[in-house]
Chain A
Amino acid sequence: MSTAVDAGQHAEAGHSHEAHPSYLQHHFDNPQQQEGAAKLGMWLFLATELLMFSGLFLAYFYMRSQYPDMVQEYHEHLNKWLGGLNTVFLITSSFTMAMAVRAAQIGKPRQSASMLLITIVFAIGFMVVKYFEYSAKIEHGLLPGDLFAEHVAGGVQSGWYGGPQLFFGIYFLMTGLHGLHVVIGIGLLFWIYLKTKRGAFSGNYYTPVENVGLYWHLVDLIWIFLFPLLYLVK
């Protein structure tokens, strides 16, 4: 990295006639351009995320239209209360995230930091609940495809056709990919929290906080769809 960075800094030193804020990268003309680019980039990234999950939703609806009775029967094995608790966790964390962005915007980094910390706590809470949910599934052998254990779940292992193996396949793929996003979100939130603590943001510059916020709301939003589709089928 060093050489490229040196070259960049050198060139910037050459152009030192303007007072560039420290957060402004050398290839942007002004902070507005940098902020606009970062935000547009984030929205486009969220669009790719939505499209990626849309494929899974399509797979889900395909399964549900082909095997409605199977889905109806096996979704009962999911714990509505734990799923509901996680929904509460994520919605609350979205609220605290919005508070953190607002605090950063009006130049209150300490308040922003504590809101971020609360968000992280809820996010970790979500993963803890998820751990218990997954453990229960593994214990009962309610798993995708060949992993589905017949001895604990009632003898549909061999020669199955449109069975619960498919339901739990879709379940683990959707919640697993979502869970991965939560884990990445925790990392991002922690990174933003540390930067906020270090005083990297001000009322003039808080784009990273806002962008992580956008990401976190998307993670929340996807769960809002996953929860009723998987846990509350009627």
Chain B
Amino acid sequence: MATTTVEGATTAHDHSEDVDFYRSSRGIKSWLLTLDHKRIGLMYLAGVLLAFFAAGLIAIIFRAELLTPQIDLLAPATEGGATVGRELFNKLFTLHGAMMVFVFIIPAIPAALGNFLLPLMLGAKDVAFPRLNLLSFYVWLVGTSILVVAVLVGQLDTGWTFYTPYSTSTHGAAPVILAVTGAFVLGFSSILTGLNFVVTVHKMRAPGLTWNRMPLMIWALYSTAVIQILATPVLAITLLLLIFENTFNVGIFNPAMGGDPVLFQHFFWFYSHPAVYIMILPGFGVISEVIAIHSRKHIFGYKAIALSSVSIAIISFLVWGHHMFVSGQSEFASALFSFLTFAVAVPTAIKVFSWVATLYGGSIAFTTPMLYGLIFIFTFTIGGLTGLYLGTLSTDVHFHDSYFVVAHFHYVMMGGTVIAFIAGLHHWFPKMFGKMYNETHGKIGAVLVFIGFNLTFFSQFLLGANGMPRRYAEYDPHFQPLHVASSIGSFILAAGLMWIAIYLVRALISGPKATANPWGGASLEWATTSPPITHNFHDTPHVDSDPYNFPEIDHSIKTGHH
């Protein structure tokens, strides 16, 4: 604020209206204690990118280990070194999974991009509860710290699912308590964000922005938030029960004391399956925006896409048992869960078909965000269809706990959510930072990521189908060629991601200035400056058409420039 008063009292008012949110106040304190959703979103973005980098690096380490059938890279060359190496391997994949799931993917699109975009897309000044929003960020930070300390200091090697009875055995007790506390705390951050978003969507929409005029990104964030609110409390109590069990030996989950380890799996997946949709639904939202805007065509099947997000959110609560086909649950339950799992494919397919239909006859621009949009449709479709193999009882018995499962969820999580996250990052980069990146660099990155990703994980489908079990540091030598292919793919993927990081940072420093609406989008976030002012809009915007009405927008952009 000091900067505005220097120029004199008469101009101070107008000046503060035009200054973007980066320059409206300065100093580290103005960031750490900010209530501005855009700054909170950017702090989340920095945090999740750091987590993504760390967890990705770990994956590269164990992919390097898997280049050879024996344990060598991780094992010190001493007596009993192999055991040390195997234990280290277990810890590494646990840290990779827990960090990627709880710290990176769950908050990546909703808390980082969503925080920045939700009020902008709604034409609001901020989210409904700005203080709660900041609290949610710090809760996330605390939870992350606990989780990281737990894995680094302790001997956590349970995998990210903390399955009992292994996680309640004395060997695992202390680090499990700590790590589970971290996940517990992270859950609260997720709940607070979800609650904030639902209220914001209900109450903060600009005049004229009816439910049927909301961008599909908002519908996706809304459906995600509903799951966050309804599922995460169950995770909280599950983890609390696990902590309690570990601390006092109560016997809820421990079969030796009359407890039931499968009860834990029911509890855990009641949250963690819906959580899969917490991860992917926001990705659908990003892709709906990107595909429509970069093909200059009204989105096909607006209502179908919007309502399919909501129906996925509802069905997601009824399919948790498909993680437990071989756990000993009743055959009837398994059959029912299998059927319901197929039901999820229907709304998901509606989305994919709608995106393809949007592309049809559109004026497709092969911009970097669009390339990622197309990659998403390709990889996510493979991920989705292989999900049906796993939802089928007879095939799942064979694929269970194999690399096929690993490949499937990486195609959905990495090929789906992470690709969508990168698409969104490129799509809204000009809006968030007011700078443009180099398109050619962007395209090179997209090609590297596409090749690297598919090489890494398609090999794993073949490995899994041939019987390679997941979570092993050593393997039968005849699997080696596919493992080598997968590892080389992961190195290409890592190089691609580093490449993206480098040119984006360069764009931040020396990229050309971005205009307010570089892609010609019609939703409200493009109606304000890049980057936006602190209060987002000079005047509350009024909405009288839907967000995919591009021809009109094209026209207004041309007249606006002259």
Contact = CB atoms under 8 A, between A and B. Distances in A.
A194 B74 CA distance: 61
Contacts of A27: 124-126, 130, 535
Interface string B201-241: 01110000000000000000000000001111110111011
A145 B245 CA distance: 8
Interface of A is mostly: helix
A59 B249 contact: no
A103 B233 CA distance: 34
A166 B230 contact: no
Interface in B107-151: 124-126, 128-130
Given A10-B16, A169-B252, A3 B263 contact: no
Contacts of A26: 125
B257 interface: yes
B9 interface: no
* Most A C-beta atoms less than 10 A away, residue of B202, B236, B245, B258: B258
Interface in A52-96: 52-56, 58-59, 62-63, 66-67
Interface stretch (A29-37, A205-213, A222-230): A29-37
Contact of B1 (A6, A40, A49, A145): A6
B451 to A, nearest CB: 43
A56 B251 CA distance: 14
Chain B: interface size category: 35 or more
A162 B260 CA distance: 10
Interface stretch (B24-32, B454-462, B463-471): B24-32
A4 interface: yes
Given A53-B237, A166-B259, 15 more contacts: A8-B35, A37-B129, A41-B128, A41-B199, A44-B229, A55-B233, A55-B241, A59-B252, A145-B247, A145-B249, A146-B248, A162-B251, A163-B251, A165-B250, A166-B251
A14 B17 contact: yes
B540 to A, nearest CB: 7
10 contacts: A3-B25, A6-B25, A7-B25, A37-B200, A41-B195, A47-B229, A53-B237, A63-B252, A145-B249, A169-B251
B34 interface: yes
Contacts of B267: 55, 58
A6 B34 CA distance: 11
A121 interface: no
B123 to A, nearest CB: 11
Interface in B12-30: 13, 16-17, 24-25, 27, 29-30
Interface in A1-54: 1-4, 6-8, 10-11, 14, 26-27, 29, 33, 36-37, 40-41, 44-45, 47-49, 51-54
A144 interface: yes
Nearest to A14: B13
Given A7-B24, A47-B230, A166-B258, A144 B238 contact: no
A144 to B, nearest CB: 5
Interface of A: 1-4, 6-8, 10-11, 14, 26-27, 29, 33, 36-37, 40-41, 44-45, 47-49, 51-56, 58-59, 62-63, 66-67, 143-147, 160-163, 165-166, 169-170, 173, 177
B33 interface: yes
Contact of B237 (A3, A40, A52, A63): A52
A215 B238 CA distance: 23
B68 interface: no
A37 B258 contact: no
B198 to A, nearest CB: 6
B366 interface: no
Given A8-B35, A55-B234, A169-B250, A144 B244 contact: yes
A11 to B, nearest CB: 6
Interface of B: 1, 4, 13, 16-17, 24-25, 27, 29-30, 33-36, 124-126, 128-130, 191, 195-196, 198-200, 202-204, 229-234, 236-238, 240-241, 244-245, 247-252, 256-260, 263, 267, 534-535, 540
Contacts of B4: 10
A33 B204 contact: yes
A216 B231 CA distance: 23
Nearest to A29: B540
A218 to B, nearest CB: 13
A147 B248 CA distance: 7
B203 A36 contact: yes
B558 to A, nearest CB: 33
Contacts of B535: 11, 27
B230 A51 contact: yes
Contacts of A54: 234, 237
Contact of B191 (A8, A48, A145, A170): A48
Nearest to A176: B244
Nearest to B235: A55
A145 B250 contact: yes
Contacts of A53: 237
Given A45-B195, A55-B241, A162 B1 contact: no
A4 B33 contact: yes
Interface centre among A41, A54, A147 (most CB of B within 10 A): A41
B236 A52 contact: yes
Contacts of B202: 36-37, 40
B258 A161 contact: yes
B83 to A, nearest CB: 30
A146 B534 CA distance: 56
B199 A40 contact: yes
B248 A48 contact: no
A93 B199 CA distance: 29
Contact of B198 (A3, A40, A166): A40
A39 B6 CA distance: 42
B23 to A, nearest CB: 11
Contact of B258 (A14, A45, A48, A67): A67
A106 B234 CA distance: 39
A66 B248 CA distance: 20
B233 A163 contact: no
B237 A55 contact: yes
Contacts of A7: 1, 24-25, 30, 534
Nearest to B225: A44
Given A7-B534, A52-B236, A55-B234, A165 B251 contact: yes
B203 A40 contact: yes
A45 B267 CA distance: 21
Contacts of A36: 202-203
Nearest to A54: B234
